[in-house]
Structure 1
Amino acid sequence: MLEKRRANRGTEKQEFTSDFSALMAQVKEAGLLARRPGWNTLRFVLLGISYVVAFAMLFLIGESWWQMATAVVFGILFTQTAYVAHDAAHRQIFTNGKVGEWVSTIIGNLFIGLSFGWWLKKHNALHHANPNKAGVDGDIAPGALIFDPADAQGLTGLRKWLAAHQGWFFFPLLTLAGVQLHVNSVKAILVGQSSIKRRWIEGIFIGIRIIGFPLIAIWAAGPVIGIVFTIVQVMVFGVHMGGSFAPNHKGQPIVPKDVKIDFLRRQTLMSRNISGGRPMGFLMGGLNYQIEHHLFPSMPSVNLHKVQPMVREYCAQKDIKYTETTLFESFGIIVRYLNRAGLGQADPFDCPVTAQFRSR
């Protein structure tokens, strides 16, 4: 009986592996993994022009509260720049890995104030390899918010009340997401995280960005307006970044640490797409096609909308749930899920798929 069960598991593993291999073969044949140098050149040119315009606004408007509009522009611009760094880190832009690392290091640290080395381990090595897996994916580690209901057990007093209502704090907390990214990046560099290869370079770049940009704002708009400008810019950046990343996985099943799932289902079942087509793709940097991005992280983001019909059809053939909602529906799902998780009521991965994978 035991030998038969092991044989069945081996057969299932081979079938699941071949499932993704067959999909990958279709995608390669369609040429969708090929890099898009023309598109990426256009992105860099448009970003460069946008920075010239934004800094011109900053210095021409001067000491005026109209600078808050400029702060919003910079908040959006830094987020769009982060999307480029994200794509470069996934080797979507350059065939040479070292060139991609250097570009990501410069963009991430000097323009955004985000440590590339810290992000690479957190995002690529941990999150992409095991999305929504308890104890592995740092994006669902307990902090200001609790994503795994198991982490809500044993809470008392004010902390228990806050956790039970944490869904309603989600949007206000997004305004602090930018600050959190800056702080975590600086901590990783100072504490000495081993994954950061170019620690001194990253430290210098991130120091120039975090200290230098507010000083430029103060120089251009005066101390009071300059400080408020910086606060608004960081808040807009946090809302835009957090509002682009959170809808993709938050509220999707959380995988217990002891459950193993094949690559195709692991990336698909734990991810959520956001409808809205190309306009939403611009707003979210292509992250609205999250399922496709997780299946093919090195695929240029501009190609993700092309591969979506193939992936959706393939998932239907294999009876794999493919989740897609509107942006506002995803926010509602997140708020409801967070409140349930804060109460410790939702069983992680509480769906028919659990039994299916636990039984193997």
Structure 2
Amino acid sequence: MSTHHDQTTGSSFTALTRQVHDLGLMRRRYAYYWTRLVGAVVAMAVWVLTVVWIGDSWWQLVPAAVLAVLMTQIAFLGHDAAHRQMFRSGRMNDWVSLVVANLLVGISYGWWQSKHTRHHGNPNKVGYDPDIAPGALAFTPEQAQRSEQPLVRWLVAHQGWYFFPLLLLEGLSLHWEGIHRVAGRRRVDRRWVELAFLTTRLAGLPVLLLLVMSPVKVVAVLAVQLALFGLYMGLSFAPNHIGMPLVAPGLKLDFLNRQVLMSRNISGGRWMSVLLGGLNHQTEHHLFPSMARPHLRRVQPLVVAYCAAEGVRYTQTTLWTAYRDVISHLNSVGLKDNDPFLCPLVASRRALQVTGVTSLPPG
């Protein structure tokens, strides 16, 4: 991109940032977050009492499903704290994240923070964003060509259809990644705190269940909770970037284009914000990652107007359209009949406009 454009964009984005600060949109929302943190603890206590009250019954599958939803909503709070949205003190945010992620949800805060920080620095950039690293799914045509086995190639070609069923295993994967990171040889800040919290959470839940129901029911409850937790987490995070353009390793973009072009917002208003924990305002979150969740919807009109003035594509769809795009994108990559990359030639020009895609107003 030209130096002139970088300077212009940087200058105007500084003006937008100043406007955001002047409107008080970067101020902390202590009452909002304290209410939710206390509410999370109370909800967990009520859940435990409910499980004890129900006793040895197959009705325990109902609170198992409730726990999956509760764990995901609490995980959203951990995400906010990790982004320094709750408190001015970094140390306070860290400890809240440790308690929320490790002790309540059972995910390693250190592992997640490292991974998520790299994602925010280079969303959808091949070789830099761990969220599109090779794994159970292929996110690039090169990844789709990893195996010559016909069965594997067929599965990759249809990966969009089994992506959502695969999310049923995501909860188990999140717990395992946390244990693997904390118990491994790599350097981990507060290793013993993380290990103690994870052990308490991951061992404490089965012990509690065994005290009130038969082992068979315990297995069933844990299976339902883990499956639905993983599904809910995956359904919340998948629309953010999957199906948006990928960035080639050698392509350099300025901050605005790097964060906006690869992010997708979900329309639906406040109820969607509750359902997705504020992740529906993905573009605003990437531009202002330390902004408190309630302010994201308020800053959206400013960001939409700013992107329109800069000629930068702003994407917002319904949730169902986003899921359809996720399935279509993954299948297209698997079939290698679609170029998912942001065109370097287009990226080198000022507008970076894509035919048929326009800036959308707030939902």
TM range (shorter): over 0.9
Q: Is the 8 A contact 2:61 2:221 kept in 1?
A: yes
1:314 corresponds to which residue?
306
The correspondence for 2:247, drawn from 255, 261, 265, is 255
Is it true that 1:294 corresponds to 2:286 in the alignment? yes
Q: 1: CA distance between counterparts of 2:280 and 2:30?
A: 22
**Alpha-carbon offset, residue 153 of structure 1:** 2.4
Q: 2: CA distance between counterparts of 1:133 and 1:256?
A: 6
1:4 corresponds to which residue?
none
What SS does the corresponding residue of 1:94 show, helix, strand or coil?
coil
Is it true that 1:185 corresponds to 2:175 in the alignment? no
**Alpha-carbon offset, residue 123 of structure 1:** 0.3
* 2:82 aligned partner, one-letter code: A
What SS does the corresponding residue of 2:58 show, helix, strand or coil?
coil
1:5 corresponds to which residue?
none
The correspondence for 1:24, drawn from 17, 29, 44, is 17
| Structure 1, 217-226 or 28-37: larger mean CA deviation | 217-226
Q: 1: CA distance between counterparts of 2:199 and 2:143?
A: 35
1:88 corresponds to which residue?
81
Q: 1: CA distance between counterparts of 2:349 and 2:158?
A: 34
* 2:346 aligned partner, one-letter code: Q
1:51 corresponds to which residue?
44
| Structure 1, 198-207 or 255-264: larger mean CA deviation | 198-207
The correspondence for 2:34, drawn from 36, 41, 47, is 41
Q: Is the 8 A contact 2:158 2:331 kept in 1?
A: yes
Q: 1: CA distance between counterparts of 2:113 and 2:279?
A: 17
1:242 corresponds to which residue?
234
Is it true that 1:168 corresponds to 2:153 in the alignment? no
1:144 corresponds to which residue?
136
Q: 2: CA distance between counterparts of 1:206 and 1:174?
A: 22
Give matches, 1:80-159, under 5 Å. 80-124=73-117, 126-156=118-148, 157-159=150-152
2:357 corresponds to which residue?
none
Q: Is the 8 A contact 2:241 2:262 kept in 1?
A: yes
1:279 corresponds to which residue?
271
* 2:79 aligned partner, one-letter code: H
**Alpha-carbon offset, residue 154 of structure 1:** 4.6
* 2:100 aligned partner, one-letter code: I
Q: 2: CA distance between counterparts of 1:317 and 1:66?
A: 56
| Structure 1, 98-107 or 160-169: larger mean CA deviation | 98-107
Percent identity, please.
46
Evaluate the alpha carbon distance shift between residue 179 and residue 261 of structure 1 in structure 2; reply closer, same or farther with a 3 A threshold: same
Is it true that 1:200 corresponds to 2:192 in the alignment? yes
**Alpha-carbon offset, residue 359 of structure 1:** 6.9
* 2:112 aligned partner, one-letter code: W
Q: Is the 8 A contact 1:134 1:256 kept in 2?
A: yes
Q: List per-residue Cα deviations over 1:59-84 (Å, max 9, x = no partner).
A: 11111111111001111111111111
Q: List per-residue Cα deviations over 1:164-201 (Å, max 9, x = no partner).
A: 0100111111111111111111111122332x201121
Q: Is the 8 A contact 2:248 2:342 kept in 1?
A: no
**Alpha-carbon offset, residue 350 of structure 1:** 4.4
Q: 2: CA distance between counterparts of 1:107 and 1:185?
A: 14
Aligned-pair Cα RMSD in Å: 1.5
Q: Is the 8 A contact 1:118 1:193 kept in 2?
A: no
| Structure 1, 268-277 or 208-217: larger mean CA deviation | 208-217
2:355 corresponds to which residue?
none
Q: 2: CA distance between counterparts of 1:193 and 1:237?
A: 28
Structure 2 runs not aligned, ≥5 long: 351-363
Evaluate the alpha carbon distance shift between residue 114 and residue 167 of structure 1 in structure 2; reply closer, same or farther with a 3 A threshold: same
Q: List per-residue Cα deviations over 1:310-332 (Å, max 9, x = no partner).
A: 11111111111111111111110
2:340 corresponds to which residue?
348
Aligned residue pair count: 349
Q: Is the 8 A contact 1:218 1:224 kept in 2?
A: no
The correspondence for 2:8, drawn from 11, 15, 37, is 15
What SS does the corresponding residue of 1:66 show, helix, strand or coil?
helix
Q: List per-residue Cα deviations over 1:19-68 (Å, max 9, x = no partner).
A: 32122112111110000011111112221221122112111111111111
Q: Is the 8 A contact 2:76 2:277 kept in 1?
A: yes
1:229 corresponds to which residue?
221
The correspondence for 1:64, drawn from 52, 57, 67, is 57
What SS does the corresponding residue of 1:346 show, helix, strand or coil?
coil
The correspondence for 1:330, drawn from 306, 319, 322, is 322
